[in-house]
Amino acid sequence: MRHAAKTPPQPQSSTLRVAVYARVSTARQAEADLSIPDQIRQAETWCLRLGHELVRQYIELGASGTDETRPIFSEMLSDAKSQPRPFDIILVHSFSRFARDNLAYAIAKQALKKAGIGIQSISQPLNDDPTGELVEAVLTAVDAHHSRENAKHTSRAMKENARQGFWNGARSPFGYEAVEAERRGDKIKKKLALCETEAAIVRRIFGLYRGVEGLQYGVKAIAAKLNAEGVTFRGKPFMISNVHRILTGETYTGRHHFNVSDSKTGAIRPQTEWIAVEVPAIIPRATWESVQEQLAERAPRKTPARIVNSPTLLTGIATCAHCGAGMTLRTGKGYRYYACAGRAQKGPTRCGGCAVPMPKVDEAVLSTLADQVFAPDRLLDLVSGYLDQARAEAQTHRTQLGQLKADLTETEGAINRLVGMVEAGLMEVGDPALAERLKALKTKRSSLQSQISTASATEPAQKPRLTEAKLAKLSTAIRTALWQAPPEMRKAYLKLFVDNVTISKEEIRVSGPKGVLAKAAMNDLPDMPGEVITFVREWRPVGDSNPCYRRERAASWASRRTGRGMLHLARPPGRVKPERRL
């Protein structure tokens, strides 16, 4: 039985101009050079049998049917809207070649319908009647379901392949190459092996960053040095991003992680879903961890370079109580002072700040922290209150995560209802209200998925029990470091637990987050001397990067009232007994 074309108004006996759209999903299918020629051959046979003219061919290589931004597909839709109309129908081998997403299929079909162009399938011919439209809707829904199922099974197979230590086919990291490990039938299993030429460059980059060659280079300086020497990144010049990616790549320690991010959205998955793959190590793990600590400490968004290299203890955290400007080093004949930078720039009429002797201020701050804040009984008081608050916040976090998941379900339901209305012809694709509503829903869905991923990854874990032994160990470690460690380590500890030292003529105020103390107390400390406890710091109170000190200071004051401890140090030098306020 001969079926009529679906949409075109022309009678079946007339000659129609046909554009064929052929697609394969993967580059491997394209390289095999079998599917595309077969789709074109069947299209030519179909046109010859029905007496139609094949006027154009659109061939899409290695593009998923769920991708709405396929370049050849987009070009075909753009050509279809041009005048005069270039063809009458678009011919595909099956409707799944046209699209595997219900929404994308419905929108494209409506756009073609407005242009007077129909869609016809060689293997799934349908009549242009309500029954044909129903069957078409079922076929596209089944194709979309098959696509999701295929993606699920492909992902499962790739995860298992990674668990067995094999490489899944992406481009290998710099320093490695994928080599054949074994064969299973007609399938070749590959693993990562060292590419000695590139591995030597990786080792040198780590060495340059650590100062092995005498001078310690930064990320930008390493890229410039390698380019000046003619060393390339797989035939291209080194860029800062290449060097940074190498320095932060955990793969070089012998452990590569698969399934880290979503291939479509780029969102980072929770670490519980990552799969570790053992690979040949290029550098020792201790070296890599040391570099990560240096990178974190030197990060411009955390600490400017001028503060990292400063010889003064309180640079970067000491501020003037009168104007909020930073306290900088000023030297005299045998004297060193903390002086208000605002007063130096604007004059004494704009700021009534003062200059204070550096050794006396350092002594007062260190002695108060060591003898008061980090005493075991004081630590217990601070940490216990914080943990009570943290438990309440964890419950709030779980409630918010549940609400986000509910909102996502509701948003997806709204999108599905819109798709149903388009398929049923209750709404036109060109309706501005549809486009605006659909865009808003998709944006909301993407935002909710990102928030859920982030919230799931940061969900508070069950904390180990707080013990007196841990508090005593923490107290001893910190007080010893503050008084006996080298200057750079003392500064590292101070910056870890103190975020602001406000200096005036009458007093010195020291404030810092209780959360860092709690994390240190709840976790085991390093036993080796010379190691610094490291945690992620809460840098700006309002969470942005705009250094507006008035807003920052207001937020800082608010946070101090709720979750931070504050010490008031008397102005006279030497060791003082501070008044404590929370």
pLDDT at 329: 81
Per-block mean pLDDT, blocks of 10 residues, the chain (582 long): 44 75 68 72 91 90 69 87 89 81 75 86 80 74 70 78 83 90 84 92 92 81 90 91 92 88 77 88 91 79 49 77 81 76 71 80 81 72 62 73 86 84 75 79 83 68 59 75 71 74 83 66 48 39 45 46 45 39 31
Report how far residue 557's alpha carbon sits from residue 551's, in angstroms, rounded to the nearest whole number.
10
Report how far residue 298's alpha carbon sits from residue 290's, in angstroms, rounded to the nearest whole number.
12
Pick the closest to residue 376 from 472, 466, 467 (CA basis).
472
Report how far residue 420's alpha carbon sits from residue 426's, in angstroms, rounded to the nearest whole number.
9
pLDDT at 184: 81
Fold of 176-298: Hect, E3 ligase catalytic domain fold (3.90.1750)
The length of the chain, given as a count of residues: 582
- SS3 call for 156: helix
pLDDT at 478: 75
pLDDT at 204: 93
Pick the closest to residue 415 from 453, 374, 382, 443 (CA basis).
443
In 10 A of CB 340, how many CB atoms? 29
Which residues have CB under 8 Å from 271's CB, separation 6+? Answer: 457
Would you kindly state where each structural domain of the chain is located, as residue ranges?
A: 17-154, 176-298, 308-377+467-581, 394-457
Choosing among 1.10.10.60, 3.30.365.10, 3.40.50.720, 3.40.50.1390, the CATH entry for 17-154 is 3.40.50.1390
- In this structure, the dihedral spanned by the alpha carbons of residues 491, 493, 498 and 502, taken in order and rounded to 10 degrees, is -20
Helix 487-497 with 514-522: angle, nearest 10 deg = 110
Which residues have CB under 8 Å from 153's CB, separation 6+? Answer: none
- The bridge status of strand 500-503 relative to strand 507-513 is antiparallel
pLDDT at 253: 92
Which residues on neighbouring strands pair with residue 167, listed in sequence order?
A: 190
